[in-house]
Amino acid sequence: MIIYLIGFMGSGKSTLGRPLANRLGYSFVDLDEQIETHSGCKIADIFAQYGEEYFRNLESQYLKEIAANKSNLVVSTGGGVPCFNNNMELMNASGVTIYLNLSPKMLADRLSNARATRPLIASKSSDELLQYITQTLAARDEFYSKANVIIANPSRDVSQIVTVISPYLDGKHSLKN
Ligand code: S3P
């Protein structure tokens, strides 16, 4: 079983993904880290040197490799992954998708000190950041809302996610949309 955590930058996908994998006895993969390790290049440098489209293609390439995996995995995806190259369909077809849904204000608070490594927001002021999040989240909603499970204001304790996904793990809930 593959569990994909999706959501905007700062929604806690990596922070929750690691303990979730531990709790379930699954392996953990962070897609951004996977890209950086394999390319030997930081995400910000990939954007700067090759542009966003190149990065989006890398994301899809590594996502396909992960989706073909037969082992138990928790995957933390970059915030844009569901919105490009039919990645959302691939994730829904190969596992359970969980959308960590936070308000623009909460995301802006969390991201205000975590801009530097994220090229899409690195140069934004606090006002610009909130505006960017509000607009981008609205545009991404049509993709994020295709998730199998949506958790609004997720708690920092993984027990909540474990409870919500247990029907999928027990096979009581069909994976097909
Ligand atoms: C992005 C989110 C980032 C990273 C890249 C682009 C996005 O990942 O993939 O900077 O488009 O939202 P996180 O969501 O893990 O910060």
What tens digit of pLDDT does each residue of 33-88 get? 999 999 999 999 999 999 999 999 999 999 999 999 888 999 999 999 999 999 99
DSSP 101-140: E--HHHHHHHHTT--TT-TTTTT--HHHHHHHHHHHHHHH
pLDDT category at 144 given cuts 50, 70, 90 is very high
- Which mutation among 16, 29, 30, 32 tests ligand 1's pocket best, with the greatest number of atoms within 8 A of CB? 32
Per-residue model confidence (pLDDT) at position 77: 98
Longest dimension (CA), the chain: 47
pTM of the model: 0.95
Q: Where do we find the tokens 């955590």?
A: 5
The protein residue whose alpha carbon is closest to atom 4 in ligand 1 is 78
- Which mutation among 120, 134, 141 tests ligand 1's pocket best, with the greatest number of atoms within 8 A of CB? 120
Check: CB of residue 76 under 8 Å from CB of residue 29. Answer: yes
Closest ligand 1 atom to 120 CA: 10
Closest ligand 1 atom to 83 CA: 11
Q: How far apart are CA 3 and CA 94, in angstroms?
A: 9
What tens digit of pLDDT does each residue of 98-120 get? 999 999 999 999 999 999 899 99
The protein residue whose alpha carbon is closest to atom 9 in ligand 1 is 78
